[in-house]
Structure 1
Amino acid sequence: MTSFFILLLFGCLTGVTTVLFGFGGGFVTVPVVYGLWSVTARSGADAMHVAVATSTAVMVVNSVFATLTQWRQSRLRREYLWPLAAFVTAGAVAGAFAATRIGDTALRVLFAAYLLVTIADSLLRKGFLSVPQTSEPRPLSRPARTLGGVGIGAVAACLGVGGSVMTVPILRRRGLPMAEATAMANPLSVPVAVVGTAVYALAAPALQARAGRLGYVDLLACAALLGGSLPTIALTRRIAARVADRVHSVAYVVLLVTVLLVMLATGT
């Protein structure tokens, strides 16, 4: 019961990050599920794989729900979603299969390294923390839509984080406000989450099957996380538009730094 309430609480945080940052939950759910699985499972077997798989399953529901919310509020712009979403899907297939063949320790290191690179890129390169108010958003280049889309899908599915941590910086540097960039991260996370969940659900060896698991996906953890996230998404859906752009972008980086520090402190 203690684990259930911890997951429910962090599910609420997942809902907030889904609305404000387009994360879909990955950067919250992966460290939390990893920590709980390491403690409760025998020898922490497959803890990181279970955490990544469970994160993708939670993202399916969170991202779809948040996408519908953003669509109703007219925050989605088709020209930035298609054909980028198709290339993200293609990359997600490769990334999800790659993750099932990477060792647990290597997957943890890659997750932390991905966070570190993203934080450095956001802080050191111009165009993320602030966008000139007078600038007009620019369309995505063909390489960004094709090669960039494949790369986003591959990395996101492999690490269970959705595509937001790559798509939001890309869209910011095209001149979009944070509210719009994070809103469009949700529909771009849907194909990553669907592909990743399908692969992880079928990938775990039969001998490792446990009650409450579908492949690597922990169904009980999913239920607890969604129990907290879905009501929170509904309650906080109007917040993003009211947050100042500069505050929004800084908060995005602060959250990534916090997750990285938590991971390093817990040995994730």
Structure 2
Amino acid sequence: MYFLLLFFGVLAGMTTVLFGFGGGFVAVPVLYSVLLATYGPDSVVGHAAMHVAVATSTCMMIFGAGLATLRHHRAGAVPWGQVRPLLGYIAAGAMLGATAALASSGDWVRWAFIVYLGLTILDSLLRPGFIQETRSRIRPLGKRATAGAGVTIGAIAAFLGVGGSVMTVPLMRRRGASMSTATAAANPLSLPMALVGSATYAALAWNAAPLGAWHAGYIDLRACLVLVAGSWLGIRAASRWIGKIPDSLHAKAYIALLCIVLAVMLAV
């Protein structure tokens, strides 16, 4: 189990740096599948598998998004002027999203994850402004749009445990950002969601289910540590490619990875 999680932790770290995923799109389906295979769907852990996967993924992103942010910042790739206004609103939305996830069934969260992925893929393919390369300046959001977008991003990301990339990358792409800039912005925007979401999953679910030792609420601490170790290795390996992937290829690879994750979640 843990060797498998370590391997996918490396993959999560690489996608965090290159696509701003925060690791959630890799960690959630993998951990969900591993928990069901290890404990069985009728066990206590099996019944809570989706909640555990989402909560553990959210906690892992504190490390992954934090380290990836540092790497992008050192490379001069983070558009802080666009990022800072969204941070507080994303934190507020994350508390709402994590609380809503705890009140929902695991199956409902899983299907919400699948539907959202599908809509994002279709939107990226069909609406102009994502795949084609852009070289214009980033157009800032207004105050109301910033508040609305921030709360929505934080709520959905914490509810699904996937970070904000699936919303922030298309948003910034259509505001005129290159893929390199959009993915660099996704990591710092995932940090407030990861911090607030993890605290909420730990505090509100502390006595929700008898999951045993090494659990803080729904967060599986051992799985989280293994995923973090793998994520560190993946981030180190992928950092050399920051800003070096052709824009159109970067955009197409982003969509292709979303399709792979969707297929995995439909199969389990």
TM-score range, shorter chain: over 0.9
TM score, norm. by length of structure 2:
0.95
**Cα deviations across residues 229-252 of structure 1 (Å, max 9, x unaligned)?**
102201211213110000000000
The one-letter code matched in structure 1 to 2:13 is: G
Q: Whole-Å Cα distance in 1 between the matches of residues 241 and 134 of structure 2? A: 22
Is contact 1:29-1:55 (8 Å) kept? yes
Q: Whole-Å Cα distance in 1 between the matches of residues 226 and 162 of structure 2? A: 18
Q: What is aligned with 2:30?
A: 32
| Matching of residue 99 in structure 1 with residue 62 in structure 2 | no
**Cα deviations across residues 54-82 of structure 1 (Å, max 9, x unaligned)?**
00011010011111111111111222112
**Cα deviations across residues 85-136 of structure 1 (Å, max 9, x unaligned)?**
1111111111111110001110111000110111011001110111333x22
Q: 1:86 to 1:257 in 2, by over 3 A?
A: same
| Equivalent residue for 2:53, pick from 43, 51, 54 | 51
**Cα deviations across residues 138-174 of structure 1 (Å, max 9, x unaligned)?**
1223343110111001000111011111000010001
Which residues of structure 2 form unaligned runs of 5+? Answer: none
* Number of aligned positions between the proteins: 263
Q: Whole-Å Cα distance in 2 between the matches of residues 188 and 82 of structure 1? A: 8
Q: Whole-Å Cα distance in 2 between the matches of residues 113 and 246 of structure 1? A: 25
The 5 Å alignment of 1:220-235 reads: 220-235=222-237
The one-letter code matched in structure 1 to 2:204 is: A
| Matching of residue 179 in structure 1 with residue 180 in structure 2 | yes
Q: What is aligned with 2:249?
A: 247
| Matching of residue 141 in structure 1 with residue 139 in structure 2 | no
**Cα deviations across residues 7-32 of structure 1 (Å, max 9, x unaligned)?**
00001100110011101100000001
Is contact 1:131-1:176 (8 Å) kept? no
> How far apart are residue 205 of structure 1 and its match?
5.0
The secondary structure found in structure 2 opposite 1:208 is: coil
| Equivalent residue for 1:258, pick from 232, 239, 260 | 260
The one-letter code matched in structure 1 to 2:210 is: Q
The percentage of aligned residue pairs carrying the same residue is 49
The one-letter code matched in structure 2 to 1:24 is: G
Which residues of structure 1 form unaligned runs of 5+? Answer: none
Q: What is aligned with 1:17?
A: 15
Q: CA RMSD in A?
A: 1.2
Q: 1:195 to 1:244 in 2, by over 3 A?
A: same
The one-letter code matched in structure 1 to 2:188 is: P
| Equivalent residue for 1:75, pick from 77, 86, 92 | 77
Q: Whole-Å Cα distance in 2 between the matches of residues 226 and 61 of structure 1? A: 7
Q: Which moved more, 1:26-35 or 1:220-229?
A: 220-229
